[in-house]
Chain A
Amino acid sequence: MPTFVYMTRCDGCGHCVDICPSDIMHIDKTYRRAYNIEPNMCWECYSCVKACPQNAIDARGYADFAPLGHSVRVLREEKKGTISWKLKFRDGREKNFESPIRTTDWGTIKGPAEYPAPRPEDFAKQELAHEPEALNTNKGLPALRRDQLKQGLV
């Protein structure tokens, strides 16, 4: 379903323009508000809908196979760590869902340079960062022997 923007809600902030993976949310030069310039390259990923601070963006099912009268609305609350959905069917039935989106505070990931630097001898080994500990096995990193790989049919 391609997205569209409600004229009275959009304030032209450009969050949708920044986030759209398909580069199809642009600011209209006359109205200074956002719109979908290329609906047939919209994946209906809802990145713009979720990012809009004004709830100005909605989606209408693709005209070539989606009958009118439905809606799928979303509210993504980063601080609360949840996403909520409201589906409305063409015949009026509704369904509601809520899911967690993150278990830690935003911005708290420890960057790779905050860990102790690898030792020179670690470069010659096959272990990646945080291994073998992060495998949680106490067995070390698995490996094959060269003679375990052979040509032929199996």
Chain B
Amino acid sequence: MGLFGGRKTVSVDADILVIGGGMAGCGATYESRYWGRDLKIVCVEKANIERSGAVAQGLYAINCYMGMQWGENQPEDHVRYARNDLMGLVREDLGYDIARHVDSTVHKFEEWGLPIMRDPKTGRYQREGKWQIMIHGESYKPIVAEAARKAATEVYNRIMVTHLLMDSSRKNRVGGAVGFNVRTGDFYVFRAKAVIVSAGGASHIFKPRAVGEGMGRTWYAPWSSASAYALPIQVGAKMTQMENRIVLTRFKDGYGPVGAYFLHLKTYTQNGYGEEYEKRWYEDTKALVGDYIDRHPVPTCLRNHAILREVAAGRGPIRMVTKEAFQDPHKETVGWENFLGMTIGQAVVWASQNIDPKFINPELTTSEPYVMGSHATCSGAWASGPEDYAPSEYQWGYNRMMTVDGLFGAGDTIGGTAHKFSSGSFTEGRIAAKAAVKYVMEKGKEQPQVSEKEVRDLEKTIYQPLENYRVGRNEIVAGTVSPSYLLPIHGLQRLEKIMDEYVGGISTNYMTNGVLLQRGLELLAMMKEDMEHMGAEDLHQLQRTWELHHRLLASESVTQHTLFREETRWPGYYYRGDHMKLDDANWHCFTLSQYDRQSGKWAMEKAPVYHIID
């Protein structure tokens, strides 16, 4: 296909455009229809909403459920838990907001047909831990997608959204989005009065431990390509806590989950010699973070820290002691079904290596870092808080609206709200949608104007990699090495290597410093220039190219934030070698960034942390 030959432009006008049909996007689509009965609600998804997002494979637990109906937990309890786990820094107004609504979401899931396990004695939902309930969630995503399909005016599958559009008639207001159909190649122009970004966080920005065929077996889905961040960053939305990447302790190679093992099966860890090791590193950790080590439960990053120290001391590998628990046939079944329900690959690894946890204590490892906003981490966009109680510094009109007018977010997109997981992401989609409907009803008479020139310029930019390949391919006999273009996999591997070596990946044991970060930024800048020379052989490779663009911009943001925060807030996630200690006097704050796409410059600032005071 030539640059413009035979390609259709499809224009879609909507009242509300939901970008990304995962858990948050399905929640946003559902709630948009509830409040906006006559509105045109369009959900656009890179894959197929039936199986898209991080929950495509299923889940075996819902990790965010209060149980208020049984007096189990209250929303403020969850806020304290998330605050503690993230070493003091979460948006407590936003976290409380999710926690107070999340139970109604979960009750709907059950009504829709999601099998939630019950405790046979109490009749309540079966608890895996204080916040987690156990489900048979193989079809979690198809069930939620059915609800979203019934709510949307239109669902567009297989559209890769590449850029947001701004309103040309009003400053700092969103106008829609553009992208392309990865099957037909058609160019899509969406105009919308409000846009909700509910795309995925970022896997594959740091080099993964598996480097061959297995590089797709990342902990977070390989299709989570940082669109959650790149789309808002491009249009100047402020981002927060982008340095707060997450490292997961998981079963080796398959990255199978450990939550049910620790919490429900009561398994525990020991070093390669069968010894308890966490206590050994207590003083070491205390010297870095002070009394944060004394909090309960011990923050996720600090548990990683003990593992890293123990392995570096030569006493690896760390193992999960499963042999005792797995003698109980019920627990053995739970242990296996836990994987089959959400990380099938771990079952395959164990079957292939003859690891039966009834007889062998399996190895654990710490993963490569990921950037996302819904697990034990909270990178994402800086968003306005709930109208009824958010401090004025956290509020500029509409709940979950970013610093761009009419641009809302949910799930991995919104920063500061750790531990929302699947149910909280769906709930945040609902919160954002109600606010977006209000925005449209109050301000929607002013239909955004989209510049035809901007749209045509973007079209050229989006499809240029096909042209680069078509022309450049003629220069060489065969193969993948060209003097004029790079393929997406080349770019991805370069990005992963830069981030790994300079920004605190696995090969430096998550260590970086100001000098390394500055050098990383120089290399990322060269890579950004090289992105004009990407070659895409077909539409699939064009999708990979734009995923790489999104990953690269998110990586630059991560690096800028990591440079800005001159402390080590989360040992076990990453270390600033030049500022090894947690520094509450100077850094008990959020980091904010704003990208200027004209100049390519980043403006950094601090924002205050408000805590719920009892």
Contacts and interface: CB of A to CB of B under 8 A. Distances in A.
Contact of A111 (B33, B115, B210, B341): B33
Contact of B353 (A63, A66, A74): A66
A111 B388 CA distance: 28
A40 B218 contact: no
B274 interface: no
B612 A148 contact: yes
Interface string B88-115: 1000110010001101100110001111
A123 B440 CA distance: 12
Nearest to B80: A154
A144 B96 contact: yes
A30 interface: no
Nearest to A139: B68
Interface string A122-154: 010010111110111101011111101111111
B387 interface: yes
A128 B223 contact: no
Task: From B76, B158, B214, name the one whose CB has the most chain A CB atoms within 10 angstroms.
Answer: B214
A142 B99 CA distance: 9
Contact of B345 (A1, A23, A128): A1
Nearest to A130: B104
Contacts of A28: none
Interface in B595-614: 608-613
Interface string B211-247: 1111111100111000000000000000000000000
B412 interface: no
A130 B102 CA distance: 12
A103 B427 CA distance: 22
A66 B352 contact: yes
Give the 6 A-B residue pairs with the shortest CB-CB distance, closest first: A111-B150, A104-B113, A62-B214, A64-B212, A134-B104, A112-B34
B427 to A, nearest CB: 8
Nearest to B340: A85
Interface in A36-53: 37-47
A68 B352 contact: yes
Interface residues of A, number: 89
Given A62-B217, A107-B146, A135 B104 contact: yes
A116 B35 CA distance: 10
B333 interface: yes
A97 B146 CA distance: 26
19 contacts: A2-B213, A22-B223, A23-B46, A26-B540, A42-B222, A44-B348, A45-B51, A47-B56, A61-B351, A62-B345, A66-B348, A69-B352, A97-B340, A102-B114, A111-B151, A129-B35, A137-B68, A142-B68, A143-B100
Contacts of B214: 40, 62-66
A115 interface: yes
Contact of B612 (A103, A105, A126, A149): A149
Contacts of A89: 351-352, 354, 356
Given A109-B112, A153-B588, A21 B151 contact: no
A76 interface: yes
Given A19-B51, A66-B353, A109 B611 contact: no
B150 A142 contact: no
Nearest to A18: B48
A149 B431 CA distance: 20
B155 to A, nearest CB: 13
Contacts of B96: 144
A103 to B, nearest CB: 5
Given A61-B349, A99-B136, A134-B104, A109 B147 contact: yes
Contacts of A79: none
Contacts of B389: 143-146, 148-149
Interface in B65-98: 68-69, 74-76, 83, 88, 92-93, 96
A149 B348 contact: no
B377 interface: no
